Amino acid sequence: MTGRTGRTVALLMLLLAAVRADEIPASQRLSGYDMMGAEAQAMQRDDFANPAMLAVKEGEALWKAAPGEGRPSCQSCHGEAAATMGGVAARFPAREGTTGRLLDLPGQIQACQTERQGLPPATRESAALLALEAYLAVQSRGQPLASPRARGLGDAVSRGEALYRQRFGQLDLSCAQCHSQNWGRSLGGTRIPQAHPTGYPLFRMEWQAIGSLQRRFRNCMTGIRAEPFPPGAPEWIDLEIYLKERAAGMAIDAPAVRP
């Protein structure tokens, strides 16, 4: 190795170390639940005070009801959700076996609706889709988020990380600058969380409604004055996969309550 290449390699390694320097060690990872106030935590812990549980109840009814004459209900294929769907939400987004495309949980619900139930897919962020998503998420409560890399989604993890570190919008900020480098500090009266997607879909008091992870992404994007990707865009799914790799092993606490 010549001196010059040696220096280049050393520089590259230094750069790589700089990029990784803001990774949060497992011992310091905090979920949004850990970082919010005691009142909001109590609201989330009490299934009766948590307004997202209304969506879970709606989701249960949708899961069991046949959507029309001769069309199967979710339950007629999948069975009792409590018995069969535990841990499923922890493994999404996933690669669809037949087409190879990446689907997040709402995307998979939409695929079932069109392909198995012969229905038009519920629109993203609609009450029905959020309700089904919440009902499935609650079946995986307490289970650890599965590592997407270990499930062969390493390429999506890399694409997601590139997005996470890319500066966007008029404020020219990346996700990492807030959520990796400045978490715990104040932004407009709230503490910046570490962006671990453990509780989605969740009830956000600011929204006065239950919303999906993509709604949260859109909020961040408009907050930095960037044009959000369209609903269901592959970029969102890559980003979700990266965040879930980053949060792998953390327990699901859906449906969460957040300020």
Three-state secondary-structure class, residue 23 = coil
Give least dist CB 207 to other proteins, A. 9
| Residue (34 or 206) nearer to other proteins, CB | 206
Residue 53 binds other proteins (CB under 8 A): yes
Residue 144 binds other proteins (CB under 8 A): no
Encode burial over 190-221: b for 16+ CB neighbours within 10 A, e otherwise.
eebbbbbbbbbbbbbeeeebbbbbbbbbbebb
| Residue (53 or 81) nearer to other proteins, CB | 53
Q: Which of 1, 18, 21, 48 binds other proteins (CB under 8 A)?
A: 48
Q: Which of 51, 144, 231, 232 binds other proteins (CB under 8 A)?
A: 51
Segment lying near other proteins (by CB under 8 A), choices 54-62, 92-100, 214-222, 248-256: 54-62
Q: Which of 15, 49, 171, 187 binds other proteins (CB under 8 A)?
A: 49
Residue 227 binds other proteins (CB under 8 A): no
CA distance 196 to 202: 13
Report in angstroms the alpha-carbon separations of 123 from 1, 12, 75, 107, 127.
57, 45, 21, 10, 9
Contact 161, 22 (CB under 8 A): no
Residue 40 binds other proteins (CB under 8 A): no
Residue 209 binds other proteins (CB under 8 A): yes
Residue 208 binds other proteins (CB under 8 A): yes
CA distance 259 to 205: 5
Residue 58 binds other proteins (CB under 8 A): yes
Three-state secondary-structure class, residue 8 = helix
| Residue (49 or 171) nearer to other proteins, CB | 49
Task: Report the alpha-carbon angle 175-247-101, nearest 5.
Answer: 80
Contact 182, 192 (CB under 8 A): yes
Segment lying near other proteins (by CB under 8 A), choices 55-63, 68-76, 92-100, 151-159: 55-63
Q: What is the DSSP letter of 149?
A: G
Residue 259 binds other proteins (CB under 8 A): no
> Which spans of this chain sit near other proteins (rule: CB under 8 A)?
48-49, 51, 53-55, 57-58, 205, 208-209
